[in-house]
Amino acid sequence: MDFRSRSHPAICVVGAALIDLISYVPRLPGPGETLHGLDFRIGYGGKGANQAVMAARLGARVAMVTRVGRDTFGDGMLENFRNAGVDVTHVAVDPEAPSGVAPIAVEPGGENVIVIVTGANARMTTADVDAARGAIAAADVLVCQLEVPIEVTLAALRAAAESSTATVLNAAPALALPFGAFADVDVVCANESEAATLLGTEIEPGRELEAVRALRDLGPRAAVITLGGRGCALSAEGCTAIEPGKKVDVVDTTGAGDAFVGALACALAGGAPLAAAAARANAVAALSVTRRGTQTSFPTADEVASAPFSEVDESAG
């Protein structure tokens, strides 16, 4: 992996942009059940958009490659990107498909369920990647996920490899990927359930290091498995370890994984080694879960620097 050291790193994100429709509920409903909600918010989301905004909030120069609909939601997403300092040169406005949406239910403990309707995101093609080759080549790190058509993600990873741009693939949502999908991936990042899908087996408690090594054996040059409040497991050449999480009071876990990935990419693009980048990402994700919402929960670099964290004590169970 060749992560270039930069004081103001450049990141290109190829992925989905959605509108979050967030309902706060007393508990998550069962099948066929109707609940009265406690509160409702509209926010900006989509894994790609979230990760782009997170990286920009931490000081990176970020370009976004996605599609939105020609509708009110699409107009709002473009404005939100601009307000966050994200370059929208390669955000296409689709004349036919609606903008993507993500209805989310969040219970008081912070757990959530999400339904994604991808809309215009599903109409992305490799032509979108070709049009953005300049932005990909200019980036220190390309970030991709699995919310847009897989051929688009693979084309973006290939374009980055051809330009010697380092790559981070967030393997979310969980999919069984085609053979050779990791050929152009420097770092793959997945949560435990996503990693289990990739590996074809559940990750047993206490075997996280074995699992992250197995994930790296699939072909990426490094692998990270996020473990929620417990931190993350990582594996790269010469280093396989657990980076412990940070102790916080959890309010809402929505977007925490995207906060982690955006922060990880930003730190790597700035030249940090994987373990240091993962520790930074743990801190950013921990701060995000202390606030409601998705992008509204993302902290700035100054907020992360001043946070009085203590690490989770794994020996306490």
Q: What is the mean pLDDT of each run of 10 residues along the chain (317 residues)?
A: 64 96 93 95 93 97 98 97 98 97 89 89 98 98 97 98 98 90 97 96 95 97 96 96 93 92 97 96 95 91 83 50
pLDDT of residue 6: 55
The count of other CB atoms within 10 Å of the CB of residue 309 is 14
Residue 315, pLDDT score = 44
Q: Is 164 left (phi over 0), alpha (psi -120 to 50) or beta?
A: left
Question: Which residues form the domain of 202?
Answer: 10-16+47-96+122-316
Residue 31 lies in a domain: no
pLDDT for the residue numbered 3 = 52
Instruction: Give the pLDDT score at 294.
Output: 87
* Number of structural domains found in the chain: 1
Q: Structure pTM? A: 0.90
The answer to the question of residue 161 being in a domain is yes
User: Does some domain include residue 32?
Assistant: no
Q: Classify residue 69: in a domain, yes or no.
A: yes
In a domain, 2, yes or no: no
Residue 111 inside a domain? The answer is: no
**Secondary structure (DSSP) of the chain:** --PPP-SS-EEEEES--EEEEEEE-SS---TT-----SEEEEEEE-HHHHHHHHHHHTT-EEEEEEEEESSHHHHHHHHHHHHHTEEEEEEEEESSSPPEEEEEEE-TTS-EEE--B-GGGGG--HHHHHHTHHHHHH-SEEEE-SSS-HHHHHHHHHHHHHTT-EEEEE--S--PPPTTTTTT-SEEEEEHHHHHHHHTS---TT-HHHHHHHHHHTS-SEEEEE-GGGEEEEEETTEEEEEE-B----S--TTHHHHHHHHHHHHHHTT--HHHHHHHHHHHHHHHTTSSSSGGGPPPHHHHHH----B--GGG-
The residues annotated as belonging to the active site are 258
CB atoms < 10 A from the CB of 307, how many? 15
Confidence at residue 317, expressed as pLDDT on a 0 to 100 scale: 39
CATH of residue 304's domain is 3.40.1190.20
Domain contains 194: yes
73: in domain: yes
Q: What is the pLDDT of residue 314?
A: 52
